[in-house]
């Protein structure tokens, strides 16, 4: 059916890309005589593990198309990993499919689930911005809310939880997650749990939605979204997967097959190797633990308070002043941080400090903070 004359095509209302606003601060920080320490983004800087690079290279001869559902080896490795690290019991490999990193899955999940106008997509008040974008791309209603009871009688299609959370590193206890799951099941809503920082618990042990302590032994209505970007320094490979309710996975798979959302064969091989190896994760964890200790102590000495941050890849820091003032104060010392306002209005007096810089740069930041 053609569009009536004068009616513009439906375009999702997307926000301005917020990072552009940080450019002047980046330039200010870059003017430091010893160079910028960029702690604004959570992009890994340490090498991709050898075991993963070898697996990628060994699978480089890949003339045919990959399957959208993923190789049996990858799905079995994911099931083993979920049992080992996420406490998931007896998952069928059919309940797992790979994604091209997790960001695309987050952005497209409401669409893949068939949500649209009139369906609420709920996400935390302080959150990774792509949950909101995903709702908008589907034409659904984005709703930032930390309380399911505050949602009223509206039709909720999808609820996102994120523990450990970006930006503030808070861990949701099993009992809290269980309440969200019960509430969603009563309403027929899907719960998607973004667990990309699951293996980065420092002072608390993060719990997966796949753990029976949360879901009572049933995967009904649940999806766990995972990423290898942070745990395995694989952000450049685009490697993620989603696991959970087999009926939902089948639905998501069906659309992904039609849309060509498939992970390249060599990347699937690399993911398989990465998921079967815990040694490199321990090594990476100890790097981040050291950087976290150094930055935490230096920020405290410089008068910052750190809130939450018991897990994940960031320190959620404040000087009890508007976040842009703090971003400016840090930029004058050659340090770039992300303003908390990027993640929601409640972040207006915090900055997010990423642990993803080399030891040398982290030590430089600490020296400047404590000078």
Query: What residue ranges bind ligand PLP (CB under 6 A)?
Result: 42, 101-103, 106, 128, 162, 166, 194, 196, 227, 229, 235, 240
SS3 307: strand
Token representation of residue 139: 């034409």
Token representation of residue 211: 């753990």
Of 129 and 212, which CB lies nearer to ligand PLP in the complex structure? Answer: 129
Q: Tokens 């002047």 sit at which residue?
A: 24
CB of 195 to ligand PLP, least distance (A): 9
CB of 197 to ligand PLP, least distance (A): 7
Q: How far apart are CA 76 and CA 97, in angstroms?
A: 10
Q: How far apart are CA 347 and CA 167, in angstroms?
A: 9
Of 144 and 300, which CB lies nearer to ligand PLP in the complex structure? Answer: 144
Of 42 and 157, which CB lies nearer to ligand PLP in the complex structure? Answer: 42
CB of 100 to ligand PLP, least distance (A): 8
**Between vectors from CA 322 to CA 321 and to CA 328, what angle results, nearest 5°?**
95
Spatial CA neighbour of 194 closest among 151, 143, 229: 229
CB of 161 to ligand PLP, least distance (A): 11
SS3 274: helix
- Could you tell me where the DSSP H helices lie in 59-173? 72-85, 102-112, 130-138
Of 68 and 229, which CB lies nearer to ligand PLP in the complex structure? Answer: 229
Of 101 and 339, which CB lies nearer to ligand PLP in the complex structure? Answer: 101
CB of 170 to ligand PLP, least distance (A): 12
CB of 18 to ligand PLP, least distance (A): 14
Of 106 and 362, which CB lies nearer to ligand PLP in the complex structure? Answer: 106
Token representation of residue 97: 């499919």
């Amino acid at each position: 059916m053609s569009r009536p004359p004068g009616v513009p095509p439906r375009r999702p209302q997307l926000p301005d890309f917020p990072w552009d606003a940080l450019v002047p601060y980046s330039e200010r920080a870059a003017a430091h005589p010893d160079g910028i320490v960029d702690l604004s983004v959570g992009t890994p800087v340490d090498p991709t593990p050898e075991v993963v690079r070898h697996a990628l290279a060994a699978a480089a001869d890949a003339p045919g198309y990959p399957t959208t559902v993923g190789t049996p080896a990858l799905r079995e490795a994911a099931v083993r990993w979920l049992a080992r690290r996420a406490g998931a019991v007896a998952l069928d490999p059919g309940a797992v499919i790979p994604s091209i990193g997790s960001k695309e899955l987050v952005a497209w999940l409401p669409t893949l689930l068939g949500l649209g106008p009139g369906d609420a997509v709920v996400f935390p008040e302080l959150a990774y911005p792509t949950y909101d974008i995903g709702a908008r791309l589907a034409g659904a209603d984005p709703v930032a809310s930390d309380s399911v009871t505050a949602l009223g009688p509206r039709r909720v299609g999808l609820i996102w939880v994120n523990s450990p959370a970006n930006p503030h590193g808070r861990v949701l206890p099993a009992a809290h997650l269980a309440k969200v799951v019960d509430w969603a099941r009563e309403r027929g809503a899907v719960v998607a749990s973004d667990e990309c920082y699951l293996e980065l618990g420092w002072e608390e042990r993060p719990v997966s939605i796949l753990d029976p302590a949360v879901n009572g032994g049933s995967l009904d209505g649940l999806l766990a979204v995972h990423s290898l970007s942070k745990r395995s320094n694989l952000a450049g490979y685009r490697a993620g997967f989603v696991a959970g309710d087999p009926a939902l996975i089948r639905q998501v798979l069906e659309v992904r097959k039609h849309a060509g959302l498939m992970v390249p064969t060599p990347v699937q091989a690399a993911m398989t190797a990465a998921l079967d190896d815990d040694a490199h994760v321990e090594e990476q964890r100890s790097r981040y633990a050291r950087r976290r200790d150094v930055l935490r102590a230096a920020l405290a000495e410089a008068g910052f308070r750190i809130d939450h941050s018991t897990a994940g890849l960031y320190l959620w820091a404040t000087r009890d002043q508007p976040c842009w003032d703090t971003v400016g104060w840090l930029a004058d010392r050659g340090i770039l941080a992300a303003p908390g306002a990027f993640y929601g209005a409640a972040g207006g007096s915090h900055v997010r400090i990423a642990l993803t810089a080399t030891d040398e740069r982290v030590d430089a930041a600490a020296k400047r903070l404590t000078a």
